[in-house]
Amino acid sequence: MSKQQVSERRFIFLSLAPIVLLFAVFSILPIGIGTVLMFFDYSPLSSNVPFAGLKHIRELFADELFYKSLRITFVFVLVAIPANIAFTLMIAVGINKIRGRFWKNSFRTMFFLPAIAPLAGSAVIWTTMFNADSGVVNMAFQMLGLPQIDWLTDPSTALLSVIIMTLWADVGYNIVLFMAGLDSIPESLYEAAELDGASPWHVFWSITLPMLSRTMLFVFIMTSISYFQMFPQFQIMTKGGPLYETYVLALNIYDQAFTYMNMSYASAMAFVMLLIILVLTLIQMRIGRSQWEH
Amino acid sequence: MKKTLEWIMTLMLTASLALAGCSSSGNNAANTDGEGGDKPIKLVWWVHESPSFVEANKKLIADYKKVKPHVTIDLQVFPYDAFVQKIRVAMNTKTPPDIVQMFGTWVREYAKNGLLEPAPNGAELEAEVYPAAIGGFQYDGQVYGVPHEFNIENGAALRYPKMFQEAGIDKDPATWEELIEDAKKLTKRNGDKITVRGLDITSNDSIVFYFLALIQQQGADFWNEDRTQVSFSTPEAEKAMQELVDLVNVHKVTDLSKLGTTEEPYMVFFKGQSAMTTAGPWTIAEGINTFNVQDFDYMPIPSFTDHPAVFSSESGWGEVVSKQSPNSQAAWEFVQFMMEEENALAWNLQTSSIPANKHVAEDPKYLESAPHVKAAVEALPNGRWIGPLADRDYFFKVIIDTFAAIAYNKKGLQDGLKKAETDINKMLKSKQ
Q: How many CB atoms lie within 10 A of CB B279?
A: 26
Q: Tell me which chain B residue has its CA closest to the CA of residue A151.
A: B257
| Residue of A243, A252, A255 to mutate when probing chain B, most B C-beta within 10 A | A243
Asked if A150 lies within 8 A of B257 by C-beta distance, the reply is: yes
Asked if B15 lies within 8 A of A21 by C-beta distance, the reply is: yes
Select the residue of A18, A153, A259 nearest B259 (Cβ to Cβ).
A153
pLDDT of residue A292: 59
Q: Measured between CA atoms, how close is A231 to chain B, in angstroms?
A: 16
List of chain A residues with pLDDT < 70: 290-294
Q: How many CB atoms lie within 10 A of CB A258?
A: 16
Asked if B109 lies within 8 A of A45 by C-beta distance, the reply is: yes
Select the residue of B4, B91, B259 nearest A242 (Cβ to Cβ).
B259
Calpha distance B189→B203 (Å, rounded): 20
Residues from chain B contacting residue A152 (CB–CB below 8 Å): 261
| Residue of B22, B86, B91, B261 to mutate when probing chain A, most A C-beta within 10 A | B261
Asked if B401 lies within 8 A of A243 by C-beta distance, the reply is: yes
DSSP state at residue B119: P
pLDDT, tens only, A147-184 = 888 999 999 999 999 999 999 998 889 999 999 999 88
pLDDT, tens only, A35-57 = 999 999 998 888 888 999 999 99
Asked if B88 lies within 8 A of A17 by C-beta distance, the reply is: no
Residues from chain B contacting residue A233 (CB–CB below 8 Å): none
In contact, B211 and B403? CB cutoff 8 Å: yes
Asked if B113 lies within 8 A of A45 by C-beta distance, the reply is: yes
In contact, B154 and B210? CB cutoff 8 Å: yes
Q: Tell me which chain A residue has its CA closest to the CA of residue B273.
A: A133
Q: Measured between CA atoms, how close is B232 to chain A, in angstroms?
A: 20
Interface size between A and B, measured as CB pairs under 8 A: 62
pLDDT of residue A290: 63
Check: complex ipTM more than 0.85? no
Q: Tell me which chain A residue has its CA closest to the CA of residue B115.
A: A45
Asked if A44 lies within 8 A of B261 by C-beta distance, the reply is: no
Q: Measured between CA atoms, how close is B344 to chain A, in angstroms?
A: 30
* pLDDT values of chain B reduced to their tens digit, one per residue, 432 residues: 444 445 444 444 444 444 444 444 445 444 444 444 578 999 999 999 988 899 999 999 999 999 999 999 999 999 998 999 899 889 988 889 999 999 999 999 999 999 999 999 989 999 999 999 999 999 999 999 999 999 888 888 999 999 999 999 989 999 999 999 999 999 999 888 899 999 998 777 889 999 999 999 999 999 999 999 999 999 999 999 999 999 999 999 999 888 888 788 899 999 999 999 988 888 888 888 889 999 999 898 999 999 999 999 888 999 999 999 999 999 999 999 999 999 999 999 988 889 999 999 998 989 998 888 888 888 888 999 999 998 999 999 999 999 999 999 999 999 999 999 999 999 999 887
**What HEC string does A225-266 produce?**
HHHHCCCHHHHHHCCCCCCCCCCCHHHHHHHHHHHCCCHHHH
Query: Rounded to two decimals, what is the model's pTM?
Result: 0.84
pLDDT of residue B211: 96
pLDDT of residue B34: 43
Q: Which stretch of DSSP H or E encloses residue B65?
A: helix B51-67
In contact, A175 and A167? CB cutoff 8 Å: no
Asked if B260 lies within 8 A of A238 by C-beta distance, the reply is: yes
Asked if B257 lies within 8 A of A242 by C-beta distance, the reply is: no
Asked if A152 lies within 8 A of B88 by C-beta distance, the reply is: no
Asked if B257 lies within 8 A of A132 by C-beta distance, the reply is: yes
- Nearest-Å Rg of the Cα atoms of chain B is 24
Calpha distance B66→B348 (Å, rounded): 21
Ramachandran area for residue A291 (φ above 0: left; ψ -120 to 50: alpha; else beta): alpha
